[in-house]
Chains A and B, each alone.
Chain A
Amino acid sequence: MRVARRRPEPSTFEFHKPTSGEQLIHFEHLTKAFGPKHVYDDVELDVRAGETLVVMGGSGTGKSVLLKCLIGLLRPDTGRIVFQGHELTHFTEDQFIPVRRHVAMVFQGSALFDSLTVGENVAYPLREHFPEMSEDELRKRVAEKLALVNLPGTEHLMPSDLSGGMKKRVGLARAIATDAEVILWDEPTTGLDPVTTQSINELINSMKTKLGVTSIVVTHDMVSAFAVGDRLAMLANRRIVQVGTREEIRRSTVPEVRAFLDARRAELVPGGAS
Chain B
Amino acid sequence: MTPEVEAGVAAPPEEQGVVARAKVRLESLGSLARMTGQVFSRAVRPPYDWGTLIYHTESLGVRSLPIALLTATFAGLVISLQFGYFLGRFGVQYTVGRVVVLTLFRELAPVLTALTVGARIGSGMAAELGAMTVTEQVDAIRALGADPLRKLVVPRVLACLLVMPVLTVFADVVGLVGGALVVKLQYALPLDLFFQGALDAVLLEDFVSGVFKGAVFGVIIGLVGCFKGLTVEGGTEGVGRATTQTVAVTSVAVCLADFFITKLTLYL
CA–CA, A105 to B140, complex, Å?
8
Least CB distance from A103 to B in Å reads 9
Residues in chain B near residue A108, CB distance under 8 A: 136
Is B266 among interface residues, defined by CB-CB distance under 8 A?
no
Is B143 among interface residues, defined by CB-CB distance under 8 A?
yes
What band does the interface of chain B fall in when counting residues whose beta carbon is under 8 Å from A? 10 to 19
Residues in chain A near residue B16, CB distance under 8 A: none
Residues in chain B near residue A93, CB distance under 8 A: 142, 147
Least CB distance from A274 to B in Å reads 12
| Contact present for A124 and B144 (CB under 8 Å) | yes
Residues in chain A near residue B135, CB distance under 8 A: 109, 111
Bits for A94-111, please: 1 = Cβ < 8 Å to B, else 0.
000100110011011101
A-B contact count (CB 8 A): 45
Is B58 among interface residues, defined by CB-CB distance under 8 A?
no
| Contact present for A111 and B146 (CB under 8 Å) | no
Least CB distance from B63 to A in Å reads 16
CA–CA, A174 to B136, complex, Å?
15
Least CB distance from B17 to A in Å reads 15
| Contact present for B139 and A111 (CB under 8 Å) | yes
- B-facing residues in A37-78 (Cβ within 8 Å): 68, 71-73
Is A265 among interface residues, defined by CB-CB distance under 8 A?
no
Is A202 among interface residues, defined by CB-CB distance under 8 A?
no
| Contact present for B140 and A111 (CB under 8 Å) | yes
Closest residue on chain B to residue A97 by CB atoms:
B145
CA–CA, A67 to B146, complex, Å?
18
Is A15 among interface residues, defined by CB-CB distance under 8 A?
no
Q: Which of A72, A107, A128 contacts B146 (CB 8 A)?
A: A128
- A residues sitting closer than 8 Å to B (CB atoms) are 68, 71-73, 93, 97, 100-101, 104-105, 107-109, 111-114, 124-125, 128-129, 174, 178
Please list 14 pairs of residues, one from A and one from B, whose beta carbons are closer than 8 Å in the complex, sorted by A's number: A73-B142, A73-B143, A93-B147, A97-B145, A100-B144, A100-B145, A101-B145, A108-B136, A109-B136, A111-B135, A111-B139, A125-B144, A125-B145, A129-B145
